[in-house]
Amino acid sequence: GQQLNQSPQSMFIQEGEDVSMNCTSSSIFNTWLWYKQEPGEGPVLLIALYKAGELTSNGRLTAQFGITRKDSFLNISASIPSDVGIYFCAGLRNYGGSQGNLIFGKGTKLSVKP
Amino acid sequence: DSGVTQTPKHLITATGQRVTLRCSPRSGDLSVYWYQQSLDQGLQFLIHYYNGEERAKGNILERFSAQQFPDLHSELNLSSLELGDSALYFCASSVVSANSGANVLTFGAGSRLTVL
């Protein structure tokens, strides 16, 4: 089945540093999404990307939908302690009209040292 | 609060038993999805219901079943439980985005199942 390869698996950074993580796939997706999950919670949507080449920002977060539609990256600038969590990329697999389900990467666990 | 409500939050049971997990989607959302999250497998899609009808199945075991009721809440039934079924089970509901016609999934807080 379709798989998303997300890297890195984990990151340990100093507060204030920038972070970059990415996701690649052997299949094309028409929508890429980035979610963040904190302990005891479900994933929360951060950024949604709908067009190849699209670059979208949400505060200190920036994500891009790759031109080939097979990859996406997420950057976090000037990290702060509350950025800690697991970040997931997800590609939307359509199966008729607007219906579809998400295929998730395995996540990037971010730790921020104050 | 995401608006997606899942119960119970935690559940501990024994092998061979059967449990039911419940999900109430956000008001107005017709789609309900179930995902399983285990440490080594990440978030795995199980099943999708839209307005009471099954729309797609993922990696759902035959021992598992789900349904969506007329009031749009959904239940995931897990039977003949095995140790390996211990995981977080998430429900998500969705509304179609006006941007692209794409689904945007909103997740509940999950039900943590421990099978002993």
pLDDT for B30-49, tens place per residue? 899 999 999 777 899 999 99
Question: Given CB atoms, is B96 within the 8 Å cutoff of chain A?
Answer: yes
Binned at pLDDT 50, 70 and 90, residue A96 comes out as: low
Binned at pLDDT 50, 70 and 90, residue B97 comes out as: low
Contact B42, B34 (CB under 8 A): no
pLDDT, residue A90, reads: 93
Residue A97, pLDDT > 60, answer no
Question: Given CB atoms, is B100 within the 8 Å cutoff of chain A?
Answer: yes
Which of A95, A99, A103 to mutate: most B Cβ within 10 Å? A99
With CA atoms as reference, the chain B residue closest to A38 would be B109
Residue B99, pLDDT > 60, answer no
Kindly report the nearest CA distance between residue B77 and chain A, in angstroms. Answer: 20
| B43 chain-A contacts, CB cut-off 8 A | 43, 88, 102, 104
In chain A the first and final C-alpha atoms are separated, in Å, by 40
pLDDT, residue A39, reads: 87
Residue A102, pLDDT > 70, answer yes
pLDDT, residue B72, reads: 95
Quote the strand ranges of chain B, DSSP E: 5-7, 10-13, 19-24, 31-38, 42-50, 53-57, 64-68, 74-78, 87-96, 103-107, 111-115
pLDDT, residue A56, reads: 95
Mean pLDDT over the full length of chain A: 91
Structure tokens at A40: 């005891």
d(CA A109, CA B4): 24
Higher-pLDDT residue of A50, A75: A75
